[in-house]
Structure 1
Amino acid sequence: MREYKALINNEFIDNGQWVEILNPTTLDVAGKVSALKEEDVNKAYKAARDAQPQWEAKTLLERIAILKKFRDEILKNKDELAQIMAEEIAKGVKEALNEVIRTVEIIDYTFEEVKRLDPLAMTGEGMGARNKLGIFSRVAKGVVCAISPFNYPFNLALAKIIPALVTGNTVVFKPATAGSLVGAYMGKLAVDANFPKGIFNIVTGRGRDIGDIITSNPEINMISFTGSVNIGKQIRKQGSSTDLVLELGGKDPALVLDDKNLEKYADEIIAGAFGYSGQRCTAIKRVLVSDKIADKLVPLLKTRVEALKVGSPFDNANITPVIDEKSADFIQGLIDDAKAKNATIVYGDKKEKNLMWPSLVDHVTVDMKLAWEEPFGPVLPIIRINDVDKMIEIANQSEFGLQASVFCQDLSTAIKVAKKIETGTVNLNSRPQRGPDCFPFLGIKDSGEGVQGIRESLISMTRYKGIVINY
């Protein structure tokens, strides 16, 4: 059994308290991490605050050189990281390894992009002040609280941590409870990379025990959070004077407007709906399509769903157990509600504990929970709507606004429809996705606030500092 301790000021913390992490595949204990108390969390923030001025005082290239050692440790341990993810969150080993490699690519790109955050020089001539020269540089905000979710415990953690550190901030990092083994393992990598004391601290424990303590500490200058809507709303209430970047839920719609390339549409929809068993905020969570096109599309989707391999992450199955039995019961409840209201089960509707077979549900109507609630699991509802304007209306009625897809070969029509959908990003003829990671990534409404992406994260982790020269 794996046992990983929290990291505070480059010291591994053993307070004798532990949180057990279950393996979703076996439902046995995969490992345990330190269960910190309030005094431990406060020590982490004090260490981060004390270390921040000296860390920011280093030159950019000095910070990059230190962080490159961490990046190298990631590559040395990539197979172990993938193994931990497979054990802890039932992500296929191959997909988990891809997550690690993708993260290294993000780190490398971040090192290059940060060099282009040049100071802004301005004269006052346009305002009648000829004797003024303003130099506005981007400087660190201070102490960043980074909180990652279970589904991408490595990628979505370091997409916050690296931009924060490279710009001179220090970090207190809280991984999701499921995901804490991967998160705490980063402490080993940081120590092996000889990180300066206090710049990167890892606090672990159950969110219900220390969540409010972590997000309300007075030392925090910024919170970058990815997770549930409810916790995001709690953080909003607590952090009224703290800068926030929140990445929350989604109910991403796919609007299918023609039948000119249904084979490709079906491929994209299935990949978008069932990747990592649908446990993605950018998963396609409803398809809006006319009866005429649906009669052709649904059989294509069914064929592809039937071909998805269900089983163990160590066999690289397409569909692996969802994170826990509570989540599986919630997803099944949405399916049962749809069935009770006369939806058609095209395929699936099978569950063994927290292993759920992929479900394709046709004739879903707006009075069903499945039309509106985010399942975060392997189920795809088909909502038949014969009017494009009505499709847009239903898409926009959601409390979420993360991403959407529009499938249509007429580019003019696709763009016009995309402009009317109230969401952060609309993908034309492709599934929703977070990447490429150099693109801005954002949501509106209950899907979050602020913008991520490599350059955008660097900007969000910094602020302008101006010096005006009078001559």
Structure 2
Amino acid sequence: MNTKNLFINGKLKAAKRTYTLRSPYNDEVLADISMADEADVKEAIEGAQSAYQTMKEMPSYQRSDILTNVALILKERKEEAARLIALEAGKPIRTARGEIDRTVATYQFAAEEAKRIYGETIPMDAAPGGENRIGFTWREPLGVVVAISPFNFPFNLVAHKLGPAFAAGNTVVLKPAEQTPLSAYFIAEVFQQAGLPDGALQVITGSGKELSDVLITDPRVQKVTFTGSAAVGKIIKEKAGLRKVTLELGSNSGLIVEPDIPIDKIIPRCVEGAFAFAGQVCISLQRIYVHEAIYDEFSKRFIEQAKTLKTGDPLDETTDISAMISSREIERIESWVNEAVQQGAKVGLGGSRNESIFEPTVLLDVKEDMSVSCQETFAPVVSIVPYKELDDAIDMVNNSVYGLNVAIYTQNIMNAMHAARKFHSGGVIINDIPTFRLDHMPYGGVKESGYGREGIKYAVEEMTELKFVTIKTTF
């Protein structure tokens, strides 16, 4: 059987233990994956620390060249990379190709930002005692960055950590999700081929529970960047101490649909936002609030459109929705849907599983305190709820422990800006779904959706330290 070893200091290293990686769709064995232990993690951190000086002193154009090479190589190997995503994550192949396209763009953005890490001059004489002084700033890399990534975008969310880290001159110890290690090893190979110095990227696979303490608390680690659940994010924050931390956590993204919107123009997009990659997206459309004047028509058309989605093998070119990541997750969402029905919700579509696939599910008559509404479903389940007044809908969207992306469809610019002001979230999307994201825009949340921002320019700022210098020009 194919065994994937740890990637430490530019070489493959066998671990004492392995685990079997299986396809979430058909349980096919994909590989044996090395399980790192504490000694492996410390070796990786030590190697990253040793490589840091090389990365820090590397001219920005050389860091840019490496990132450009990564984008070019990944573009050439697009089909191979997309197939890996389909196999280990169960993402439909067409969707997986889209992820690789975005990943290429993300590394291209990182290559550009490597050359745009600016400082500024400070008018020292703005304060008494500042006469005859020049003040200015520059940004310096932090050092060793620990990146902990999720399963749902195993290439692009890793790129949002590696890209800005290397653009700024840091080194990275990457801990991918247990279900998607193949993508991490693939990108490590690509970076090595692109010219990244050995030790600048370390890949450690295995149990997050076993490895998190040493990864997060080692004194040589200067920053932790994590994408995942709010529960794990809180633990990381507690353990990280004074280290810099970026937390991209959960959401139950809400959308408001005002009555002035032509329904036929937005239904396909809303269905896409709710069910793409089986809803396993941080900003998946989970709650739709529709004005009562168009609620019945919207719900009817939404369900009709959702019925056209095809479920099946992720490698089938016609598949829209495939397996959820694990049977445990299917059992969880199945119990939440059943609980909602017992509490009075109605199933407009779906509501059940088909082996490794949970059917696209539309719930009606959902109350705000039901798990399918107030928690993150991370599944192909969406609720449609009527409202009377716009402010009522805004209040319902805001009535959440999360605050990542929210959205509103309206042709009234005053209503749009009113909602944008009132929403308590990291991002507001007007006239599109909350699932919309481009890889250079600032992205991040408030409340239990975390803090810090991704989007390469903004992530570079998070992965650097501002240094101030002043010169007295006369004695």
Q: Same fold (TM over 0.5)?
A: yes
Q: For the residues of structure 1 that align with 2:456 and 2:444, how far apart are their CA atoms?
A: 12
8 Å CA contact retained: 1:114, 1:455: no
User: Contact 2:61 / 2:114 at 8 angstroms: preserved in 1?
Assistant: no
Closer, same or farther: CA 397–355 of 1 in aligned 2, 3 Å: same
SS at match of 1:277: helix
What pairs with 1:351-362 in structure 2 (closer than 5 Å)? 351-362=353-364
Query: What's the CA shift string for 1:432-471, capped at 9, x where partnerless?
Result: 1352211111100000101111110111111112222111
Alignment match, 2:127: 127
Q: Identify which range, 40-49 or 351-360, moves more after superposition.
A: 351-360
Deviation at 1:20, TM superposition (A): 1.8
CA–CA separation in structure 2 for the residues paired with 1:379 and 1:246: 25
**What fraction of aligned residue pairs are identical, expressed as a percent?**
29
SS in 1 for 2:214: helix
Specify the alignment match of 2:333 in structure 1: 331
Which amino acid counterpart does residue 438 of structure 1 have in structure 2?
Answer: H
Alignment partners' CA distance in 1, 2:389 and 2:3: 56
Aligned: 1:322 with 2:330: no
In structure 1, give the amino acid aligned to 2:104.
Answer: V
Question: Counterparts of 1:26 and 1:58 in 2: how far apart (Å)?
Answer: 46
- Is residue 147–residue 224 contact of structure 1 (8 Å, CA) maintained in 2? yes
Whether the aligned pair in 2 keeps the contact of 1:364 and 1:384 (CA below 8 Å) is: no
2:21 corresponding residue in structure 1: 21
Does residue 86 of structure 2 align to residue 72 of structure 1? no
* Alpha carbons of structure 1 residues 417 and 166: separation in structure 2 relative to 1, 3 Å: closer
**Match of 2:391?**
389
CA offsets, 1:334-359, max 9 Å, x none?
11112112222111123123211101
Partner residue of 2:7?
Answer: 7
User: Which residue in the other structure is 2:471 paired with?
Assistant: 469
1:397-430, CA deviations, whole angstroms, 9 ceiling, x for partnerless residues? 2110011111112121122122111111111110
Rounded Cα–Cα distance in structure 2 between residues aligned with 1:15 and 1:424: 41
Aligned 8 A contact 1:4 1:33 in 2:
yes
The within-5 A match list for 1:304-453 is: 304-316=305-317, 317-433=319-435, 435-453=437-455
> Is 2:207 the counterpart of 1:206?
yes
Task: Pick closer, same or farther for the CA change 1:367–1:445 going to 2, 3 Å.
Answer: closer
With over 3 angstroms needed to count, the CA separation of the structure-2 counterparts of 1:60 and 1:364, relative to structure 1, is: same
**Could you tell me whether the CA contact under 8 Å between 2:352 and 2:359 is conserved in 1?**
yes
Q: Is the 8 A contact 1:184 1:204 kept in 2?
A: no
SS of residue paired to 1:334: helix
Distance 2:314 2:5 in 1: 25
Q: Distance in 2 between matches of 1:109 and 1:257?
A: 35
Q: Which moved more, 1:334-343 or 1:80-89?
A: 334-343
TM-score by length of 1: 0.96
Aligned 8 A contact 1:405 1:430 in 2: yes
Cα deviations across residues 262-315 of structure 1 (Å, max 9, x unaligned)?
112322211111111111011111111233321111011011100111111111
Moved more, 283-292 or 242-251: 283-292
Indicate the residue corresponding to 1:108 in structure 2.
108
Contact 1:41 1:214 in 2 (8 A): yes
State TM-score, norm by structure 2.
0.96
Moved more, 177-186 or 255-264: 255-264
* CA distance in 2 between partners of 1:428 and 1:197 (Å): 44
State the Cα distance separating 1:103 from its structure 2 match.
1.1
| AA matched with 1:288 | Y
Per the alignment, do residues 434 and 4 of structure 1 end up closer, same or farther by CA in structure 2, a change over 3 Å counting?
Answer: farther
SS in 1 for 2:95: helix
Matching of residues 149-164 of structure 1 within 5 Å:
149-164=150-165
State the match for 1:267 in structure 2: 268
Task: Tell me the SS of whatever aligns to 1:68.
Answer: helix
Three-state SS of the structure 2 residue aligned to 1:371 is helix
Q: What's the CA shift for 1:63?
A: 2.1
What is the alpha-carbon distance in structure 2 between the residues aligned to residue 148 and residue 15 of structure 1? 21
Q: 1:29-82 deviations in whole A, cap 9, x for unaligned? A: 222221000000000101111111122111111222233333333233222111
**AA aligned opposite 1:350:** S
CA distance in 2, matches of 1:200, 1:130: 46
User: Is contact 2:285–2:435 with CA below 8 Å preserved after alignment?
Assistant: no
**Paired residue for 1:97?**
97
How many residue pairs were aligned? Answer: 471
CA distance in structure 2 between the partners assigned to 1:295 and 1:259 by the alignment: 15
Q: Conserved in 2, the CA contact under 8 Å of 1:144 and 1:224?
A: yes
117-126 or 271-280, larger mean C-alpha shift: 117-126
Whole-angstrom distance in 2 between the partners of 1:175 and 1:351: 28
The SS at the match of 2:137 is: strand
- Name the residue aligned to 1:454: 456
Q: Which amino acid aligns with 1:120?
A: E
Tell me the distance in 2 between the aligned counterparts of 1:99 and 1:432. Answer: 18
* C-alpha distance in structure 2 between counterparts of 1:412 and 1:268, whole Å: 23
Paired residue secondary structure (1:318): coil
Letter in 1 for 2:154: P
- Aligned letter for 1:178? Q
Q: Verify the 8 A CA contact 2:113 2:167 in the aligned structure 1.
A: no
Rounded to whole Å, the distance in 2 between the matches of 1:157 and 1:125 is: 44
> C-alpha deviations, 1:72-118, integer Å up to 9, x for none?
33233222111111100011112212211211111112222332222
What is the alpha-carbon distance in structure 1 between the residues aligned to residue 353 and residue 204 of structure 2?
35
Counterpart in the other structure of 2:220: 219
Match of 2:185 in 1: 184
Alpha carbons of 1:191 and 1:117: their partners in 2 closer, same or farther (altered >3 Å)? closer
Partner of 1:137 in structure 2?
138
CA contact (8 A) 1:363 1:383 kept: yes
Distance 2:343 2:65 in 1: 60
Shift of residue 225 of structure 1? 0.7
**Distance in 2 (alpha carbons) for counterparts of 1:76 and 1:203:** 26
Q: Contact 1:6–1:187 (CA<8 Å) still a contact in 2?
A: no
Range 246-255 or range 77-86, more displaced:
77-86
Contact 1:328 1:353 in 2 (8 A): no
Distance 1:438 1:187 in 2: 23
Does structure 1 retain, via aligned residues, the 8 Å contact 2:64–2:110?
no
After TM superposition, the structure 1 stretch with the greater mean CA deviation from structure 2, 431-440 or 78-87, is: 431-440
CA distance in 1, matches of 2:265, 2:241: 45
